[in-house]
Structure 1
Amino acid sequence: MAREPLSVVVITYNNGGTLDACLRGVTWAEEIVVLDSGSTDDTVAIAERYGARVSVHPFDEFGPQKQRAYDLATHDWILNLDADETLSAGTREVIEQALVAPRYAGFRLPRRELLFWKVQHRWGRRNGLLRLFDRRRGRMNHVEVHSAVEVDGPVKTLWRADFINHGDVDIATRMNKINSYTTRMVAHKLRKGQRFTGLRMVFYPPWFFLRQYLGKRYFLDGWAGFVASMTGAFYVFLKYAKLHEAQRKVGPDKGMRSR
């Protein structure tokens, strides 16, 4: 029985360093759609070399840009990848089997991280992310930070498949992301009226470290896993520290309410 045809969808901006590896692993799909935000490097040339249908739209927010890219696809089933992600060996076969008369609205693929100088151990605990879905039953949600696809229907995790995120190539890159993400997260929390909680700033970071280092088994990754766990703990500390700083600046009389 034939499987459902597949559109691979990627949004890009100056991803010339990683896009080649990303697209090289999905040439078996019936369609590759790339929505670029005005790259000034060779991103578009790389996409065209792989036969991708390339469109350009200025970037505003992650969620709307992803949805625009999905709307450009011509097939119902979409595999969503970031430009710095690659499919692991054997994942193609698992995906193709899942798309033979699928009974689910979507499938989660486990993600393995590049922890600075090594890829997360296969025995580490991986997060399953909804990356393969029927676009007739799914759309991006409206969460301002870390927006994601939501589908109407059952979802299954394909544990025998996974993909690798190559985003954190070094500690400096990770810290730049942390600074950017926490600033955006604070703006979101302020709009929601969330109050600073000092106890979370004190106790959540060490708990997060243990959850990463032991719970996700980052200890299997040596010093890379230790550093990743520490920077993760710093991330959760920094978002509450920035929230406290922001609320001190606006004052206590701006209608902040407890959550």
Structure 2
Amino acid sequence: MAREPLSVVVTTFDNAETIGTCLGSVAFADDIVVLDSGSTDATRDIAARLGARVEVRPFAGYSAQKQAAIDLARYRWVLLLDSDEALTPSAAERIRVALESPEAAGYVLLRREWVFWRWQPERARLNHYVRLFDRTRARMSGHEVHESIVVDGPVRRLDAVIDHYGERDIEGRVDKANRYSSLQVRDRHTRVPRFLRARMVFYPTIAFARYYFWRGHWRGGWAGFVAARVHAFYAFLKYAKLYELRRSSDEGRRRPFEGEHGKD
């Protein structure tokens, strides 16, 4: 049975280490688009060698950049991947089957995480995201961070797994927590939640427990423990930066050299 043609869209920046694995996993696609934001390594060369259409545009933010990549797709059905992700062979087959007779406007795929030095444990909960969709009925959410696909129509879960290689070390994960928490402040600055001091005190512990125990990362040994601690730190940073924003907004920020003692 003939299937709907598929475009795969990928956004990249200096991802030479993983782009080959990413694109190799979707070699069955009818159209592969790579939107690069100015890589200085071999990312674009590798992508072109593997048959992708490569475009270069300055980075416009996570959501806007992905929407721009989606807009470059030739076909109605789109699979959205990050450049450090790759489909498992079984996921590729399930996508091919789903596109023989699509029963939804979008499909949720599962994602398995590489956690520092090992894959997350088999029985830990997998993240899940809409990644396969009819682009005439879908769009990016517009958020600065944790952007997602918003679908106008039914969404179903597809038993298909994406492997995510992510941050390879603790430093990279902490840097990401710092960067993403700042972006979340930009997303939420007009609707700052109440009780920020209480949230700073209590929510990191809740975030740790949810990640480590409820999602099952305790099964991942020390890698799971460290990841849970960084996740808790991210929760703290998010509310601490919102608290800082509210204080500077309510009271105004007065620099030391602007005070009376700093004048000539």
Question: What secondary structure does 1:109 align onto?
Answer: strand
Q: How does 1:16-35 map to 2 (within 5 A)?
A: 16-35=16-35
Letter in structure 1 aligned against 2:22: C
CA distance in 1, matches of 2:190, 2:171: 29
Deviations 1:55-100 (A, max 9, x none): 1111111111111111111111111000001112311111111111
CA distance in 2, matches of 1:37, 1:235: 26
1:80 counterpart residue number? 80
The answer (yes or no) to whether the contact 1:8–1:26 under 8 Å persists in 2 is yes
Unaligned runs of at least 5 residues, structure 2:
254-264
Shift of 1:193: 4.5
1:5 counterpart residue number? 5
Deviations 1:209-233 (A, max 9, x none): 1111111110121111111111101
Question: What secondary structure does 2:82 align onto?
Answer: coil
Letter in structure 1 aligned against 2:36: D
Verify: 1:46 aligned to 2:49, yes or no.
no
Shift of 1:14: 1.1
2:180 counterpart residue number? 181
Instruction: Between 122-131 and 78-87, report the one with greater CA deviation.
Output: 122-131
RMSD (Å), alpha carbons: 1.6
The answer (yes or no) to whether the contact 2:117–2:223 under 8 Å persists in 1 is yes
Question: What secondary structure does 1:185 align onto?
Answer: helix
1:257 counterpart residue number? none
CA 1:113 to 1:44, structure 2 compared with 1: closer, same or farther past 3 Å? same
2:199 counterpart residue number? 200
Letter in structure 1 aligned against 2:174: M
2:220 counterpart residue number? 221
2:71 counterpart residue number? 71
Unaligned runs of at least 5 residues, structure 1:
255-259
Question: TM-score with structure 2 length normalisation?
Answer: 0.91
The answer (yes or no) to whether the contact 2:118–2:223 under 8 Å persists in 1 is yes
The answer (yes or no) to whether the contact 2:144–2:186 under 8 Å persists in 1 is no
Greater radius of gyration (CA): 2
Shift of 1:189: 2.5
Letter in structure 2 aligned against 1:38: G
Shift of 1:145: 2.3
Shift of 1:49: 0.7
Instruction: Between 241-250 and 1-10, report the one with greater CA deviation.
Output: 241-250
Shift of 1:195: 4.9
Verify: 1:89 aligned to 2:79, yes or no.
no
Shift of 1:122: 2.4
Verify: 1:103 aligned to 2:130, yes or no.
no
Identity %: 49
Number of equivalent positions? 253
The answer (yes or no) to whether the contact 1:196–1:240 under 8 Å persists in 2 is no
CA distance in 2, matches of 1:188, 1:5: 35
CA distance in 1, matches of 2:230, 2:3: 42
CA distance in 2, matches of 1:188, 1:25: 33
